Structure 1
Amino acid sequence: MLLEFRVRNYRSIRDEQSLSLVASKDPELGATHLIPTGLKTLPSAVRSAVVYGSNASGKTTLLFAMHYMRAVIAESATIVQPGQTYNIQPFKLDDAFVTEPSSFEVTFMFNGIRHQYAFELTPQRIVSESLLVYHSAKPTQWFSRHLKDDGETYQYEFSTYLTGSRKLWEKSTRANALFLSTAAQLNSEKLSPVFQWLVDNIVFIPAGAQIIHDLTTAMLNTDEGRTAVREFLLAADISIADIQAVPRKGFRQQVVFQLGGTPKSSQEESEFLVPIFHHTTPKGSAQFELHEESHGTQRLYGLAAPVLDILKRGSVMIIDELDSSLHPLLVRRLISMFHNPVLNKNGAQLIFSTHDTSLLDHTLFRRDQIWFVEKNDNQATQLYPLTDLSIRKHEAWERGYLAGRYGAVPFFGELPDFLNTLHPSPVRVEKQYFDPEID
């Protein structure tokens, strides 16, 4: 499970910002909304966290930073080539930060043990990297790596806990690659599981992403998968009596690009699965293909496989603008799946951003699950939880947020006078858009 994420000097984030999923001591909704950690100092973590803020406040930047961190871990030792630079964007509105490295840190529970992994990087290289492991209340630093003053070589330190070919891993680690990733590729018995957890257990879905439906459709091939998808849609109150995958034949278009030549396109006949939805009413029944369903149903159908997989594996799902194309009640139902200990037996977590203020509800969230982002006078993103604010115990959160008591809302000034000249009179509008002869 994820306990905390920290990021500094990344896009609109200048100073270090911390998103914590460690639960407060408040017992409210504890039986459903909290996951036991097994730690005395941090006994519980929340199953979800929601981020609010006005447009361009930094919500997407915060969530994407977790995805970027995961991508660097996954690809630095394999996809990234020697000498290749990273597309990393520091905070550009402060000259002191433009040349500074961006930093990422994640604290998580793995195999019942708390881990804390961090690294700093510039476009050209990794500047520092470390891994702390809490076998007891006092952490052990398994390894650390720091760029020396010469700007080219690194100082490494290792713990005796980290067994294996440490010198080989050190020698094999490029300046633009992470030591963790390199050691994992070279089959480090200790570091490979840590690497794998970070790569496999953080799933990011950007706003407006076209979710691939094939993953959900593939689940329909088995009775277990078909039942899981059907029940997922039924749990969201989608009026579908049944669903099945039907094989269809069609043509796939392939385009081959050749250096110095003209792209060649070809078609080949292949068989693929098409989901068919069965609807039943007192007046009759009918079958619909996916493209005939509503856009909200299509999005929910696409989310079925990722969400079911996340719940099964106990992973972390990060969604930017969860409410996109989904009715607020469907969003509530989706959140409730993560809060349901029966459905979510393995401690999966949901982190998402939204503009839907109706979700600011005491029956849906605890105070320590609600976060806000806004920009300060330097246009730098600031992140803070609802628990930092002095509010009454049963205060109406939605009303308080929309009234601006919590910040993180857009500020509207007066409209410029010249805008008044852009609106035609009602008479002109009528003449412009309506034909009196037709009326």
Structure 2
Amino acid sequence: MIESLSVTNFYCFKERTTLLFTAGKERNRSLDNTYCGFSTQNKVNILKLVYVLGNNGAGKSKILSALSALKYLVIYSRERKDESLRYRPFAFDETCLHTPSVIEIVYHIDNCRYYYMIKWDKSIIWEERLQEIKSARTRVDLFYRWYDKNSDVAQIDFKPQMRISDNESYIITSSLLKNNSVISVVATTNISHPLLNTQYAFFAEGFEIMDLNDVDLNEELPDEKTDHNKLLKRVICGFLHSVDTNIMTYEKLKIEVDYPSELLQHMKSLPEKEQSHLRAMLRMDEEKHTINTFHRLGKNAETRRGRLPLSEQSDGTKEILRLLVVLNEAIARKKTIILDDYSSGIQRNTLNQLLKFFLGASTNSQLIISTQDYSLLDFDVTRRDSIRFLVKNEDAEAHVETIKLSLLHKNSSLHHYVSKMNVYKQLPEMDEPLFEKLLSVYKEIER
């Protein structure tokens, strides 16, 4: 689970800005017993569900994109040392354009709490540090990497707590380019070091920014080939029934794909390596499926069932299924899923049930939702301390605000407070006189 994310000189974040995912001193509610909004990891209460709110252009997507940047920097390797890195410093300060960016993350893996920092610009990773956090006052250094400008070489200081052999240290040091991370070398050299392999797995699989529209239900919905999948399918169909859809079940059928003859002929002319790459890209060697749903018709649902292809279902029903697939992935893989700029077409009572399902079933997983849809705050599972606001000042610098619990009674409407009272400048300020003037000008133009 992710405890915090900090960025410096990254897009609209000039100064060090931290997005915390820890629970505040929210008073216990009856729902917390079954649908607890946080998970306690290494004595830290980490929120399972977080909302990131703010006006258009306030920096919601930018701060969450730091997680994608982190994954890119940490696990992917550049083959040449002159290959450029993705570098997006604060644009409105000349000094920032020539200063490295920094991302810091505090995260939990099993019973350990870690701090990782990376500092980079368009061509060099200048610093990289990994620590284990033992307590509020105690941190144990595991490794520190820096770039030696004089020798044009990346140096690494592995600490004793890493328990890394001389051979492993030599392989990593000799393989490391100035634009690659220490952790990325794990994949390229096949080093089997428990701690480094664990870190690599976290950055590769521990978090992901997802778009529900990218979920292929024909492939992602479970079949009945294993006992686990049978039970999962039963839960999914049961949930659909519990929220008053009339879908009883579905069938997953294997289909054969007819690829154009021109494509197949062209592939034969390619070298074997390019053929393999193209087959993998088109997923030609994977099974393809289609889904049919079955609806109950009339009162006698046992004998009257109607079949309907999933493709013909409503957008709302398909979104329910996609969200169930994503929530299951987060829960099963103990993963952090980020839904950026999420605007749901799911009926609100149903969406509330989906989020309750996630909170009730998850232990070490998180759902972070960036949204402009303030109606989500009406849900009974939404905690006052789970909301983060992104706000920009007059110099285009973004920062994070949280609700001061003392200013908002626990029984007050969060939706009303956030959507009507512009306490955190999360709402656009409308210039009505200017608007009326522009409307008048436009009418003159179109006469």
Shared fold by TM > 0.5?
A: yes
Find the aligned partners of 1:375 and 1:212 in 2 and give their Cα distance: 37
Name the CA shift for 1:271/1:190 in 2 (closer, same or farther; >3 Å): closer
Counterpart of 1:412 in structure 2 is: 430
Counterpart of 2:192 in structure 1 is: 187
Counterpart of 2:313 in structure 1 is: 293
Task: Tell me if structure 1 keeps the 8 A contact 2:71–2:204.
Answer: yes
Where does structure 1 lack aligned partners over 5 or more consecutive residues? 429-439
1:135 Cα shift?
Answer: 4.1
Find the aligned partners of 1:72 and 1:99 in 2 and give their Cα distance: 19
Name the CA shift for 1:399/1:98 in 2 (closer, same or farther; >3 Å): same
1:288 Cα shift?
Answer: 1.0
Of 272-281 and 215-224, the range deviating more from structure 2: 215-224
Name the CA shift for 1:190/1:278 in 2 (closer, same or farther; >3 Å): same
1:388 Cα shift?
Answer: 7.4
Find the aligned partners of 1:97 and 1:216 in 2 and give their Cα distance: 44
Find the aligned partners of 1:252 and 1:300 in 2 and give their Cα distance: 31
For residues 372-409 of structure 1, what are the alpha-carbon distances to aligned partners after superposition, in whole Å with 9 as ceiling and x for unaligned?
11211111222122237843444322222222123211
Q: TM-score, normalised by structure 2?
A: 0.83
Partner secondary structure for residue 297 of structure 1:
helix
Q: Are 1:15 and 2:31 counterparts?
A: no
Counterpart of 2:74 in structure 1 is: 73
Q: Are 1:202 and 2:218 counterparts?
A: no
Partner secondary structure for residue 190 of structure 1:
helix
Counterpart of 1:52 in structure 2 is: 53
1:219 Cα shift?
Answer: 4.1
Counterpart of 2:91 in structure 1 is: 92
- Higher helix fraction: Structure 1 or Structure 2? 2
Partner secondary structure for residue 252 of structure 1:
coil
Find the aligned partners of 2:47 and 2:242 in 1 and give their Cα distance: 22
For residues 206-264 of structure 1, what are the alpha-carbon distances to aligned partners after superposition, in whole Å with 9 as ceiling and x for unaligned?
4x7432224423545442342243235445554311111123334235486999xxxx9
Name the CA shift for 1:193/1:235 in 2 (closer, same or farther; >3 Å): farther
Of 388-397 and 324-333, the range deviating more from structure 2: 388-397
Which residue among 240, 244, 247 is the counterpart of 2:247?
240
Q: Are 1:83 and 2:82 counterparts?
A: yes
Alignment of structure 1 residues 273-292 onto 2, 5 Å: 273-282=289-298, 285-292=305-312
Name the CA shift for 1:269/1:47 in 2 (closer, same or farther; >3 Å): closer
Task: Tell me if structure 2 keeps the 8 A contact 1:101–1:122.
Answer: yes
1:192 Cα shift?
Answer: 0.8
Find the aligned partners of 2:243 and 2:83 in 1 and give their Cα distance: 45
Alignment of structure 1 residues 339-358 onto 2, 5 Å: 339-340=359-360, 343-344=361-362, 346-358=363-375
Alignment of structure 1 residues 109-128 onto 2, 5 Å: 109-128=108-127
Equivalent residue letter for 2:234:
T
Find the aligned partners of 1:289 and 1:28 in 2 and give their Cα distance: 45
Task: Tell me if structure 1 keeps the 8 A contact 2:127–2:146.
Answer: yes
Find the aligned partners of 2:244 and 2:19 in 1 and give their Cα distance: 32
Find the aligned partners of 1:93 and 1:388 in 2 and give their Cα distance: 34
Q: TM-score, normalised by structure 1?
A: 0.84
Task: Tell me if structure 2 keeps the 8 A contact 1:249–1:269.
Answer: no
- How many pairs were matched up? 413
Equivalent residue letter for 1:224:
L
Name the CA shift for 1:125/1:149 in 2 (closer, same or farther; >3 Å): closer
Equivalent residue letter for 1:34:
F
Q: Are 1:329 and 2:349 counterparts?
A: yes
Alignment of structure 1 residues 243-322 onto 2, 5 Å: 243-253=250-260, 254=263, 272-282=288-298, 285-322=305-342
Counterpart of 1:131 in structure 2 is: 130
Partner secondary structure for residue 179 of structure 1:
coil
After the TM superposition, list the runs of 4 or more consecutive aligned residues in structure 1 that deviate by more than 6 angstroms: 264-271
